[in-house]
A and B are shown apart, each in its own frame.
Chain A
């Protein structure tokens, strides 16, 4: 007899850390809580209709990615200040945390698909195949977005 879907609580426990990290990095801590709730409540509603052999990690990040995009677009509509990518001048020696701050401002300034690809790859640690299914593109397109995002980050944040 084939194994069914895991009990929802087990699915939630298995993915909560990675989804939380992904959302904090994507939308900031303030909005991460709401996005997290919406992600897993939406997942719970749809859960019984899933096939038992589904890739649950790719699936939950498809939902989390959509919620993060909604939050970004909502912020843009409300015209809240969006951090501009800043260029370090190289003369001052910024602390590591200040440099991380610059880097993440630059990440948040990337085009949607590049930003998603970067955060899904490095923060959520998803393989390219799962990034592609989360953002709804081919694996090749996901690799390209990731590469283009890294190139842009290199321009604004010299290593």
Chain B
């Protein structure tokens, strides 16, 4: 067999099979679209049949697209726009399960509640939460934080004391700083004793913005 003859056959094989008699010839772009559509159906089916341990999707917000992730139990992670998507997903794969798929519809309850919250029509979140990413001390701190009402604030020292760690306001601050579900668990309502804003994982300007939305701070002129 000569190389030239072989090469002609090899080139034809590389083009892939035509789509059969009568079918429109497909170019590379529409083949990739067909593959992407088939992949979306895999993800949707995985979520529908309960094979996905984590479903994620971008969710709109005034801060830009947040990344929301849910398990069968509930919301497990909400990430600010500047958090790297791959790093966030790899963390979920390592700590929860690698069976992670993108299924926008599974995030609809979060989407709806966030939209109402940012419109000022919702004062607390009702969606179920999955605490899998939070350790025992962090859970105590974040549960106390969840009970601070809309429009209210508490100090780090008060939260630490309510969480059963009266001298641990630094530890409480760390637990708040690694809150995996900011906004929904309102760690923005915890301030320094005396009223200084303190820190915020999403940036202190966002903390101020959220407190102004809730009426806990008066907008600066």
Which residues of A line the B interface, CB within 8 A? 3-10, 12-13, 16-17, 19-21, 24-25, 28-30, 32-33, 36-37, 40-41, 44-45, 47-48, 97, 99-101, 103-104, 107, 118-119, 121-123, 125, 150-151, 153-154, 157-159
* B16 and A36 within 8 A (CB): no
Would you give 5 A-B contacts (Cβ < 8 Å), ordered by A?
A: A4-B90, A4-B98, A21-B16, A36-B42, A122-B10
Majority SS at the chain A contact face = helix
B196 close to A (CB within 8 Å)? no
Of the candidates B21, B34, B45, B90, the one whose C-beta lies within 8 Å of that of A6 is: B90
The answer to whether A28 and B17 touch (CB under 8 A), given A33-B38, A41-B51, A97-B25, is yes
Majority SS at the chain B contact face = helix
B99-107, B142-150, B205-213 - the one binding chain A? B99-107
**Which residue of chain A is the closest to B32 with respect to CB atoms?**
A17
B5 close to A (CB within 8 Å)? yes
A contact residues around B32 at 8 Å (CB): 17
Interface residues of B in 159-195 (CB under 8 A from A): none
The answer to whether A24 and B17 touch (CB under 8 A), given A8-B99, A9-B89, A12-B42, is yes
Lowest 9 A-B CB distances belong to which pairs?
A20-B35, A122-B13, A159-B5, A7-B100, A159-B8, A25-B17, A5-B98, A16-B39, A104-B17
Q: What is the interface size of chain B, counting residues whose CB is below 8 A from a CB of the partner?
A: 48
Mask of B35-58 contacts with A, CB within 8 angstroms, 1/0: 110110111011001011010100
In whole Å, how far is B52's beta carbon from the nearest beta carbon of chain A? Answer: 8
* A107 and B13 within 8 A (CB): yes
Question: CA A124 – CA B184 in complex, angstroms?
Answer: 45
* B20 and A13 within 8 A (CB): no
* B9 and A154 within 8 A (CB): yes
